[in-house]
Structure 1
Amino acid sequence: MRIHLLSALLVCALTAACGQSPSANEGEEAHGAEAAEFERGPHRGRMLRDGDFAIEMTIFEDGVEPEFHIYAYRGNKPVAPGEVQLSVELARLGGRVDRFAFAPQEDYLRGTGVVAEPHSFDVKIKAVEGGRTHSWTYASYEGRTTIAAEAARQGGVKSEKAGPGTVSELVDMSGRVEITPEGKADVRAWLPGRIVEMRGQLGQSVRKGQPLVRVESSHSLQVYSIPAPISGIVVEKNANVGDVTGDRALFVIADPTKLHAEFFVYPRDAERIRVGQRVDLRSLSGEARLSATVEAMLPTADLASQTLMAHVHLPASAATLFRPGMGVEGSFAISETQVPLAVRTKAIQRFRDFDVVYAKVRNTYEVRMIRIGRRTPEWTEILSGLEPGTEYVTDGAFLIRADIDKAGASHDH
């Protein structure tokens, strides 16, 4: 219930902020209304008129990369495309301007170059025919919204700049946290005898050299003390005052800061796991996470399962996140590749039939259709569709998407 209420508050915050200042949402809504109201020509394009001369703007993308096809009319009758000189400028969010020249083809003027996605821009057109010059401008936005900075902050929206990254091939395995061999020690009697005093208690923290047991020797009848061999916590107590010592450990001490994770490596992965590889470790709940490295691959296989044991070193700070005996999951980076451009995988959303991220320019957000390469849970390689250095949304992208969907994602031309 608390989660649902928080989501509702976030959406309300975004809605309120968008209503406080002019936004691209208003432009989207206006464009949506305009899309229903502007005059359409015989080819279902946007009609632009100046006196008795008119042009019909279309973007043709049937089996080809999107390109402009523009038809000319005079007195509502087609004009031969060779009689018209035309140029188009598309001003995009972020300052980029795409310019198109045109050449006659059949009964239309064909633009030189691809009209790249998203088809979201301010359009400027200049046409010359019969000694007359005609100009038009209009806005055509899609996948764009503006959200006040405070509302975005309250909604958990975060961003960073796209740049080079490391994409890894990962192998996932299950394991458990254990205390390392050097992190555990037994407290044993040195000589047979009777225990006259025990100073340690279960769960007690002790320091190395601290006296824990006093024993009266059966041979000399002298009493000697047995100190703690390491610093740590008493995890086992196996004797009481008055008992006679034997081979058993009187106390077992464990240092909870000396941990490693043990993973069972199946034969199909054994040849790919190497000492020094990075491992992203997480608890079964997913709440505790850290990055560590493979410290050892034991050379012997289990007879029944044929699995090998990989030990992953955990730093002392891991004791605050993981406890001995806990189950863990690990993603082993069996290979790592530097790529020129990568984004965080969690930033990627769907828009129409595209994978997208949301570019941020001041308080305005807009889709960037991307082609992706190698992908891991953390990073995804970008092959095209995003310029290096572009600021993009890493957290809260679903809120941006919801705000755009609320206004309607127009794709009219």
Structure 2
Amino acid sequence: MTHRNSFSRTVELKSHAKNARRLAVLGLSGVALLFVAACSDEKTSEEAGGAPQAETGPAIAAISPESAKAADIKTSTVGPANVRKVLTLYGSIKPNGEREQAIRARYPGTVKSVEKRPGDAVKRGETLLTIESSESLRVYTIVAALDGTVLERAVNPGATVSVDTVLMQIADLTTVWIEVAVFANDLGEVRSGMPVVLTDANGDALAETEIAYVAPVGHADSQSVVARAVLNNTDHKWIPGQFVTADIVVDDTRASKSVVPAAIQSLDGKIVVFLESEGGFQAREVEIGKRSADAVEILGGLEVGDTYVSTNSYLIKADLLKGEGEEE
């Protein structure tokens, strides 16, 4: 009996020493010594007839502040945030169709002069072309009906034109249309008045507006419906013809408690967030609600003001899992 107790005692001390080495690797050699001493005291108490004490409380990743800083583990505070559900669609920039003018001849004739080229700015009432009527042989003038920019010029002096010929195209580009394709599976989520954040093809220009129009009919060839937003373009950053990405906000919830998505981890089949605690970081099971690219709503498990790990939380999870592997 004495031999068996001695063997069991040796195995348990080896196990405690192994855990102590793990703690020492994390820079907690002092804690490791206390851990061994505490285990020895516990065994002595058990041998004296005392009941063993079951381990309670969440597991703690014993990571020192210095180690956390070196690993770029950062913390934030639980607080309110807007949790936005965003639908990302793609489309292009077009001239505002309500601010365009297709220039045509009033009477058939011969073009005598063309005053503007593509890219030229024009003012309302400014002369664009002169044409000699083939009926009266009188020269008449065509002027701009709005302020804008010449987009296209289709004729030169000497050209013979009819009343159906588009001679020039001008548009007011101080506003533009953003048109995106909405496919059947997303159509039920997109409505007029929804906020939309726009990004240009290079990812440089950002703007926010709202959906102004959703077409009542679709395109048979693409099986999509056009959704349109009108965008202020007085700085002329948004160039017609370029592609654009539209993030349509289909739901916007104000969460009283939230964390960043990078804080959420799965551990032992539970959804957890890591909190600062004495001696390191501990996992706290949480109940989550709506989530977006920037925030996750917290329904339970945390309180406003709690300090949680917001950056590199996966390193803490890895440390805990490594510890479980070593213990096995």
* TM-score computed with the length of structure 1 as normaliser: 0.57
Deviation at 1:391, TM superposition (A): 6.3
Between the aligned residues of both structures, percent identity stands at: 25
Partner of 2:27: 30
**What letter corresponds to residue 90 of structure 2 in structure 1?**
S
Deviation at 1:236, TM superposition (A): 0.6
**What letter corresponds to residue 254 of structure 1 in structure 2?**
A
Contact 2:91 2:245 survives alignment (8 Å): yes
- Does residue 239 (structure 1) correspond to residue 155 (structure 2)? The answer is yes
Greater RCO, 1 or 2 (C-alpha within 8 Å, sep 6+): 2
**Residues 240-279 of structure 1 aligned to structure 2 (within 5 Å):** 240-246=156-162, 247-279=164-196
- Does residue 348 (structure 1) correspond to residue 290 (structure 2)? The answer is no
- Does residue 142 (structure 1) correspond to residue 63 (structure 2)? The answer is yes
Cα distance in 2 for partners of 1:146, 1:210 equals: 72
Partner of 2:250: 334
**What letter corresponds to residue 248 of structure 1 in structure 2?**
T
Deviation at 1:310, TM superposition (A): 1.4
Partner of 2:239: 323
In structure 2, relative to structure 1, the CA distance for the partners of 1:248 and 1:383 (3 Å cut) is: same
Partner of 2:36: 40
Contact 2:81 2:257 survives alignment (8 Å): yes
Unpaired runs of 5+ in structure 2? Answer: 1-23
Contact 1:282 1:330 survives alignment (8 Å): yes
**What letter corresponds to residue 348 of structure 1 in structure 2?**
A
In structure 2, relative to structure 1, the CA distance for the partners of 1:384 and 1:285 (3 Å cut) is: farther
Cα distance in 1 for partners of 2:233, 2:74 equals: 31
Structure 1 counterpart of 2:143, from 209, 223, 227: 227
**What letter corresponds to residue 263 of structure 2 in structure 1?**
I
Partner SS state of residue 290, structure 1: strand
Structure 2 counterpart of 1:206, from 101, 122, 135: 122
**Paired residues, what number?**
296
Contact 1:143 1:366 survives alignment (8 Å): no
Instruction: State the Cα RMSD in Å.
Output: 4.3
Contact 2:111 2:157 survives alignment (8 Å): yes
Contact 1:142 1:411 survives alignment (8 Å): no
* Structure with the higher helix share, 1 or 2: 2
Deviation at 1:264, TM superposition (A): 2.1
Partner of 1:296: 213
**What letter corresponds to residue 210 of structure 2 in structure 1?**
T
- CA deviation map 1:229-281 (0-9, x unaligned): 22222221101112233222222113333222222222233233211122333
Deviation at 1:218, TM superposition (A): 3.5
Cα distance in 2 for partners of 1:382, 1:143 equals: 27
Partner of 2:57: 115
In structure 2, relative to structure 1, the CA distance for the partners of 1:162 and 1:37 (3 Å cut) is: closer
Deviation at 1:295, TM superposition (A): 0.8
Greater CA deviation, 367-376 or 174-183? 367-376
Partner SS state of residue 98, structure 2: helix
Partner of 2:93: 177
Deviation at 1:164, TM superposition (A): 2.3
Cα distance in 1 for partners of 2:248, 2:106 equals: 44
* Structure with the higher strand share, 1 or 2: 1
Cα distance in 1 for partners of 2:109, 2:152 equals: 20
Cα distance in 1 for partners of 2:76, 2:121 equals: 45
* TM-score computed with the length of structure 2 as normaliser: 0.69
- Does residue 188 (structure 1) correspond to residue 109 (structure 2)? The answer is no
Cα distance in 1 for partners of 2:139, 2:129 equals: 10
Cα distance in 2 for partners of 1:370, 1:205 equals: 63
- CA deviation map 1:89-129 (0-9, x unaligned): xxxxxxxxxxxxxxxxxx14569xx7356x37xxxxxxxxx
